[in-house]
Amino acid sequence: MKWGILGASGIAEKAVVPALIRAENTEITAVASGSGKGKEFAEKFQIKKVYTDYTELLKDPDVEAVYISVPNHLHKKWTIEAAKHGKHVLCEKPAALNAADAEEMLQICKDNNVQFLEAFMYQFHPQHLQVKDIIQSGEIGDVKLIKAGFSFPLDLGKSNIRLDKEKGGGSLFDVGCYGIHSVLDLSASTPAEIKAVSVVHEELQVDTSTVVSLKMENGILAQIDSSFEQQFRNEYIVIGTKGSVTVTDAYRPDKPGVGTIIIKDMETGDTRTEKLDGDTYRLETEALTEAVTKGRSLEHYHRLTLETLRVIGKCLEEV
């Protein structure tokens, strides 16, 4: 499948484009950038076509799918434009700034017969799939509690798009969405109750740290924390009536690629460790390719996209 890149962003340069190059049945034919970085970006990755206008790339008949890595508040606009031009879409998270916008995006993609996938790459790593298998096997008993956290230190005194409220800034949209997304996936349920408390930057009016508490319809409790004010960590733990599963690099197992799962038997105190290797960004891009070429359903991922944004929306009402 032939891809175009909308936005010569850091994540595109460091992770997604190299993954597309590694992926099977994939070719990058064009890049569009309004920042002036397009030419240098294209030279680095030997991309033949460079556009300074996103619409011109979308008009290119050689482009079948696009990776959208523009700022959060522009995801809706360019996903819709891509769909109307018949391009399949891999869109950076969060897919939109609210669930209503995401629903509209998904409907327009459906109406134009194109596939859409939100770029939560962690969910394609074998470690996450293994945790779901362990839960299903009953090894840790009935799941009662899930805790998830994603944080990193950010200089709050410097200009940063992550701190721009109008562009979808804040720790919830940037990293808290991972924890919420994974809890929804692991619990296989939807929230019955949602509570959130945040530290809000007085001047910027974005959350710099947030803790979310959920009670799921199936009775599982969950706690998710996100922060720009703590050291880097990305982890979750699933606690059941018999044991627990801890994933120490839950959302960025691409550093370096090997994920670690620690399974503990609460009755005996015994633990075992499993290490699984996976190329998350490549697997993510191949998921969209397979949806297009092999008819793989992406409905599960769409449900998670919508429910994650519903939770975030409810949390922001309380900020």
So what's the pLDDT on residue 36? 85
Residue 16: how many other CB atoms lie within 10 Å: 24
How far, in Å, CA of 173 to CA of 118, rounded? 13
Task: Sheet containing 88-91: give its strands across.
Answer: 49-51, 27-32, 2-6, 65-68, 88-91, 116-118
| Sign of CA pseudo-dihedral 217, 318, 224, 306 | positive
Confidence at 261, pLDDT banded by 50, 70, 90: very high
| CATH class, range 122-278 | alpha beta
2-119 has CATH 3.40.50.720 classification? yes
Confidence at 35, pLDDT banded by 50, 70, 90: confident
Q: Which residue in this structure is represented by tokens 């009935």?
A: 142
Task: Parse the chain into domains and list their residue ranges.
Answer: 2-119, 122-278
Q: Which pTM was predicted? A: 0.96
Tell me the two tokens of residue 237. Answer: 């733990």
**pLDDT (tens digit per residue) in 117-161:** 999 999 999 999 999 999 999 999 999 999 999 999 999 999 999
**pLDDT (tens digit per residue) in 104-121:** 999 999 999 999 999 999
